[in-house]
């Protein structure tokens, strides 16, 4: 069975905290729940490990709503972005 690259997911895992660094889904594959699936899986692993997860997202990015649905809360802001954390 073949495979096709449809995006990327970058993360960091420290002993005390994990971070979602970047999620990018190619436009032809967006809107199919792929990003939500990847985030959900990462958060499940973080829950098992007992660590909080943080991320930074540009203001106005529609993904903010997705992150809020997964329990992320804004912990600080800059002119351009929101720093969010879950757990």
| pLDDT tens by residue, the chain, 87 residues | 568 899 999 999 999 999 999 999 999 999 999 999 999 999 999 999 999 999 999 999 999 999 999 999 999 999 999 999 998
Residue 69 sits in which domain range? Answer: 7-86
Helix (H, G, I), strand (E, B) or coil at 40: helix
Which residues, in sequence order, are bridge partners of residue 82?
57, 77
Beta strands in the chain (DSSP E): 7-13, 18-25, 53-58, 73-77, 81-86
Q: Is 56 among the domain residues?
A: yes
How many distinct structural domains can be found in the chain?
A: 1
Q: Is 2 among the domain residues?
A: no
Q: Is 51 among the domain residues?
A: yes
Assigned token pair, 73: 């809360």
Helix (H, G, I), strand (E, B) or coil at 77: strand
CATH number at residue 75: 3.40.630.30
> pTM value?
0.90
Q: Distance (Å, rounded) from C-alpha 87 to C-alpha 19?
A: 12
């Amino acid at each position: 069975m073949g495979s096709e690259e449809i995006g990327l997911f970058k993360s960091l895992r420290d002993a005390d905290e994990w971070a979602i660094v970047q999620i990018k889904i190619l436009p032809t594959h967006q809107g199919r729940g792929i990003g939500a699936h990847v985030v959900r899986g990462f958060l499940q692993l973080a829950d098992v490990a007992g660590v909080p997860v943080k991320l930074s997202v540009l203001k106005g990015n529609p993904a903010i709503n997705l992150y809020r649905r997964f329990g992320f809360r804004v912990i600080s802001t800059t002119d351009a972005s929101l720093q969010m954390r879950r757990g």
